[in-house]
Structure 1
Amino acid sequence: MEFGFGDADEAFRREARQWLEEHLVGRFAAAAGRGGPGSEHEGAPERRAWERELGFGGWIGLGWDRDGYGNRVATLTQQVVWAEEYARVRAPGRYGHIGENLLAPTLLAYGSDEQRGRFLPPVARGEELWCQGYSEPGAGSDLASLRTAAARDGDGRWRVTGQKVWTSLAHEADWCFVLARTQAGSRRHHGLSFLLVPMDQPGRVEVRPIRQLTGTSEFNEVFFDGAVAEDVVGGEGNGWRVAMGLLAFERGVSTLTQQIGFQEELRAVVRTADATGALRDPVVADQVVRLWAELRTMRWNALRTLGGAAGDGAAGAPSVAKLLWGGWHQRLGALALRVRGAGAAVGPADWTPDAPYELDEQQRLFLFSRADTVYGGSDEIQRTIIAERVLGLPKEALS
């Protein structure tokens, strides 16, 4: 496998680095490093404005291969370069991730020309934000058991009714792509459609924040009560195919950005371990070395997958990636508190029961990472995908 950076890539790197240095200033510099997992509430106004700044600079949608949608063309290696440079300067956490990295590739693969022309340019400009309407109470990892339904009204539009949960950034989003059951009486993967639903429908769309262990509320419950949708992607009844295609896009170049963030978190834990003396414990030292080696392995695996070298295991590559980083991040979170000792479980000295508590970065890392092996597809689901689609093992009998 060849995945190196040539002269054109290094020129692109210099351009990206210069742009970031010139624009990540003032209010945007103040938002640097904010908005990651567990802290997506931080710097909201600045980060939304930063999306428009990125769009104006042409840095949104580098992986889109079609002209006319407002994004600059970039090769796969140049997309990796941008991801690395963005993470290197700890630029603000992206508000437009779901629209750029999930919706856009899905529309490019399954959408109509009209849908691409309507929805991609506002994402590329950083103007419209999206959220994902998949999980439901009782239909998380087992997504095929969802109950949200949609039916045609007298005007031929879809009317969506049901509840979604764990919906990231729903309180900020302009649109939501919703997997709903459009064929009455259908079961499991059949009779589903992928609908595009505007969120600004008072009385028909209600968003309720979910308070997490970290004390923040990045996730939400979303209730649809006859919400109107006019666009279905990939054709009526083909929602499962489109939804699974989207999940594969989720494990693309953005995983490299994630890993660079992991690297910074690991360095912070090592610095703490050195300062507290915990690094002199051979067990802790062994854990640090293992985490470092596993992170390098994850990077090589991601580059191998992006370079098209996954071979017969390509169908399971996204699941392998999810299994690797979910467990790794949880172990890092546990180590982050271990190296600090008992004081890691103590909050600020001035905290009172009637005030919201503030966590430091490593406490937030520990608490938020507890969910890493569940959200985005639980470990059990990922292993089932690998067993059935890669190893060819018999499918689990449905009850």
Structure 2
Amino acid sequence: MDLSYSPADEAFRAEVRTFLEDSLAGEWAPLRGLGGPGRDHEALDERLEWNRYLAREGWTCVGWPTEHGGRGLSLWQQVVFGEEYARADAPATVNHLGEQLLGPTLIAFGTPEQQQRFLPAIRNVEELWAQGYSEPNAGSDLASVQTKARLTEDGSRWVIDGQKVWTSNAHFSQWCFVVARTEAGSQRHHGLSFLLVPLAQEGVDVRPIEQLTGGSEFNEVFFSGATTDAHLVVGEPGRGWGVAMGLLGLERGVSTLGQVVGFARELALVCERARANGAIDDPVVRDRLADLAVELTVMRHQGLRGLSAVTGGEDSAAGGGAGSIFKLVWAAWHKRLGEVAMQVLGADGLLAAGAPYELDELQRIFLFARADSIYGGSDEVQKNILAERVLGLPREARG
């Protein structure tokens, strides 16, 4: 299997690298490195303007088909863009959920009217989106969703009641895609619908959840008689499970390979600190850092191999559950990196870098990485997917 890039892809890499180097050398230079995992609160307004600058320059939604306003890049070119974006230490964008998740979902499942209404605003970063999946009693088990929606008597609007939790970016988004139960008495994945809901209305209460890292990327969202237009259901009413699963497949797509470049930068930071404070002289620390470096290289090639199967027309599940495997691998690796980072810091890792709660970057890596095995599909769910759908083992007993 040839995992090398073609001359055309390398020429595209040079184009992306030049654009980012030139752009981040000027007025945007102070934004380098801001807004990463656990640091979503940093320079939010400035990063929003950066995201809109990317849109004006034609560098948002690069994988979307050209007829929907994208560049129509191949999977490999999308990987190149993600890698170069991470390598440039460009600021984290604020439009990920719209650009990477909802937009492609609307392209695949939405009506022409929905596409015309929402895709341009996503591409131009004029409207931001939150993800309304998890609930207090339905975290990784999306089929247990209890948030309900019903049509008004005249059939013009959905009325929504329920609670979502860990709702990414709801505190600054205008819209939320919500999985709700729209068929009374339905159970599990039956009777769910995928709704597009405006957040700025009576009946929606957004409450940020402060994280250990100091940010509030996630939120509780309470729906109490909130409404949305009847036509703002993606796919058929009651058939939202397939739409939701399609979106989750996108969540573990090409962007994760750019994430590997970010991991490499974090590993380099831990190594640099180990050299500075002498922890590198501990053979155990040195061996663990070497292991992480080797594993990171293997992880990248594993991700590329999974994409190669997709470009060859091979379904992810049929190809060995590449997306689930990759999620398990990088989540476990990142947690180990955080643990080694704290080992490098030693006793200093127990003290905040400043008052009242200023964290060292290595402390932030450790704290944020604790959630890696939960968000984006928990380890338990990924293992069930591999066991049941790929290996054909008996389904887990469910109460």
TM-score range, shorter chain: over 0.9
Q: What is the CA deviation profile of residues 226-264 of structure 1, one whole-angstrom value per residue up to 9, with x for unaligned ones?
A: 222221111111111111111111111100111110000
Instruction: Measure, in 2, the Cα distance between the counterparts of 1:125 and 1:178.
Output: 22
Instruction: Measure, in 2, the Cα distance between the counterparts of 1:384 and 1:330.
Output: 21
Shift of 1:215: 2.3
1:387 alignment partner AA:
A
Partner of 2:45: 45
Kept after mapping to 1: 8 A contact 2:353/2:360 = no
Matched, 1:283 2:291: no
Give the secondary-structure state (helix, strand or coil) at the position aligned to 1:364.
Answer: helix
Shift of 1:209: 0.6
* TM-score under structure 1 length normalisation: 0.95
Partner of 1:238: 239
1:80-91 maps to which residues of 2 (within 5 A)?
80-91=79-90
Partner of 2:339: 334
Q: What is the CA deviation profile of residues 327-382 of structure 1, one whole-angstrom value per residue up to 9, with x for unaligned ones?
A: 11111001111112101111135x2xxxx411121111111111111111211111
1:292 alignment partner AA:
A
After alignment, is 187-196 or 369-378 more displaced? 369-378
CA-based RMSD: 1.5
Kept after mapping to 2: 8 A contact 1:58/1:70 = no
2:352 pairs with 342, 347, 366, which one?
Answer: 347
CA spacing shift, 1:246–1:256, aligned 2, 3 Å? same
1:1-399 maps to which residues of 2 (within 5 A)?
1-65=1-65, 67-153=66-152, 154-201=154-201, 203-230=202-229, 231-308=232-309, 313-314=318-319, 316-348=321-353, 351=355, 356-399=356-399
CA spacing shift, 1:185–1:315, aligned 2, 3 Å? farther
Specify every segment of 5 or more residues in structure 2 that has no aligned partner in the other structure, as ranges. Answer: none
Instruction: Measure, in 2, the Cα distance between the counterparts of 1:243 and 1:377.
Output: 12
Q: What is the CA deviation profile of residues 149-190 of structure 1, one whole-angstrom value per residue up to 9, with x for unaligned ones?
A: 100013421111111101111111111100000001111111
Instruction: Measure, in 2, the Cα distance between the counterparts of 1:250 and 1:133.
Output: 14
2:249 alignment partner AA:
A
Kept after mapping to 2: 8 A contact 1:160/1:226 = yes
Shift of 1:27: 4.6
2:69 alignment partner AA:
G
Kept after mapping to 2: 8 A contact 1:214/1:367 = yes
After alignment, is 308-317 or 21-30 more displaced? 308-317
Kept after mapping to 1: 8 A contact 2:179/2:240 = yes
Instruction: Measure, in 2, the Cα distance between the counterparts of 1:380 and 1:242.
Output: 22
Give the secondary-structure state (helix, strand or coil) at the position aligned to 1:170.
Answer: coil
1:64 alignment partner AA:
W
Instruction: Measure, in 1, the Cα distance between the counterparts of 2:8 and 2:323.
Output: 28
Instruction: Measure, in 2, the Cα distance between the counterparts of 1:123 and 1:131.
Output: 12
CA spacing shift, 1:242–1:45, aligned 2, 3 Å? same
Give the secondary-structure state (helix, strand or coil) at the position aligned to 1:339.
Answer: helix
Instruction: Measure, in 2, the Cα distance between the counterparts of 1:326 and 1:228.
Output: 37
CA spacing shift, 1:348–1:397, aligned 2, 3 Å? closer
2:41 alignment partner AA:
H
1:257 alignment partner AA:
G
* TM-score under structure 2 length normalisation: 0.95
Kept after mapping to 2: 8 A contact 1:60/1:71 = yes
Specify every segment of 5 or more residues in structure 1 that has no aligned partner in the other structure, as ranges. Answer: none
Instruction: Measure, in 2, the Cα distance between the counterparts of 1:239 and 1:132.
Output: 14
Give the secondary-structure state (helix, strand or coil) at the position aligned to 1:207.
Answer: strand
Kept after mapping to 2: 8 A contact 1:28/1:92 = no
Kept after mapping to 2: 8 A contact 1:130/1:173 = yes
Instruction: Measure, in 1, the Cα distance between the counterparts of 2:215 and 2:40.
Output: 8
Kept after mapping to 2: 8 A contact 1:147/1:180 = yes
Shift of 1:2: 2.7
Instruction: Measure, in 2, the Cα distance between the counterparts of 1:27 and 1:314.
Output: 45
Give the secondary-structure state (helix, strand or coil) at the position aligned to 2:3.
Answer: coil
1:252 alignment partner AA:
G
* Count of paired positions: 392
2:132 alignment partner AA:
G
Give the secondary-structure state (helix, strand or coil) at the position aligned to 1:225.
Answer: strand
Instruction: Measure, in 1, the Cα distance between the counterparts of 2:233 and 2:139.
Output: 22
